[in-house]
Structure 1
């Protein structure tokens, strides 16, 4: 028997087919490509620049993607190519807006158990925001979007070793940022158990 086809390979092949069809002028294929990819680009934009600008930047990115689709030579590289366009648009938006964020990372003392997961998600989001942009993007693309090291390298236009290093440093920084929160909640649990 041959090697089983992974779900990810099937999705990549389908995306490549949609790209070829869209490049040949098939409007339905372009629409289907947008339906499949807009949510991922929007989610990444939110992670990189926040919800305020994300929708506009994702939309601008789609316009650039559709305009440049005819120049994409390797249809299998659609994901890193599209994320690269989004990354550049996000960087432009941040530069133009000149935004700076500062948030408190303290967890309230008396948090009900059902809200702890939401607060942990907020802690993770804050920790991601504290990372340098390149590391945050590498972590998001790998852990949320499922891109490989080589695809991340293509998106960020760096060698694979640099992408791997960014991912390593992001992971280490996130662990350090989240450990005090985890230690605090364990300590609080131990104190309550006494």
Structure 2
């Protein structure tokens, strides 16, 4: 995201914190596509991704007044999203183990086009969860390393290691 886009987001956050409901709507309009794209990658399920994003917006709206530094919004918002996605994935896994009814659906990403996109999506899906989250936030959402550290609640060095390992795995999987 450009510096002007980041500054605009910071101004929107400040406006939301001042009680401007329209600013929250604008912030949501700007961030909804990014959060949804990441949620799809985190969960691997379209419906679950939509639910996680909607639930994340409830958390964002409730907690944004406590965000001290508006520049930290990207990492903070993705941290909320990551937790909501993890809750849903864990709940689905628990339900599957209780019901012992495994659903082997593996739907491709809704916006995937062509063999290259499918290969990239499959390569991302094969990554361990921590690497997939870090790589999605870095390569797809273009977050800074310190923002990823906030979003994943991991030390900066760990984030760097995860991205390095993910990059290596993705290169191998894609034959690059």
Counterpart check, 1:22 vs 2:16: yes
Residues of 1 paired with 2:66 and 2:144: CA distance? 23
Question: In the alignment, which residue of structure 2 is the partner of 1:72?
Answer: 67
* Displacement of 1:80: 0.2
Q: 2:174 aligns with which of 175, 178, 184?
A: 178
Please tell me the root mean square deviation across aligned C-alpha atoms, in Å: 1.7
- CA deviations on 1:22-51 (whole Å, 9 max, x unpaired) are 011101111100000111100100111121
Question: In the alignment, which residue of structure 1 is the partner of 2:146?
Answer: 150
- CA deviations on 1:48-71 (whole Å, 9 max, x unpaired) are 112131111111101111111111
Structure 1 segments unaligned to the other structure (5+ residues): 1-6, 104-116, 183-194
After TM superposition, the score normalised by the length of structure 1 is 0.79
Structure 2 segments unaligned to the other structure (5+ residues): 97-101, 107-112
Residues of 1 paired with 2:5 and 2:156: CA distance? 23
Q: 1:120 aligns with which of 116, 123, 140?
A: 116
After TM superposition, the score normalised by the length of structure 2 is 0.86
Alignment of 1:13-92 (within 5 A): 13-50=7-44, 51-92=46-87
Residues of 1 paired with 2:71 and 2:116: CA distance? 36
- Rg comparison, structure with higher value: 1
* Displacement of 1:175: 1.1
Residues of 1 paired with 2:30 and 2:6: CA distance? 11
Question: In the alignment, which residue of structure 1 is the partner of 2:109?
Answer: none
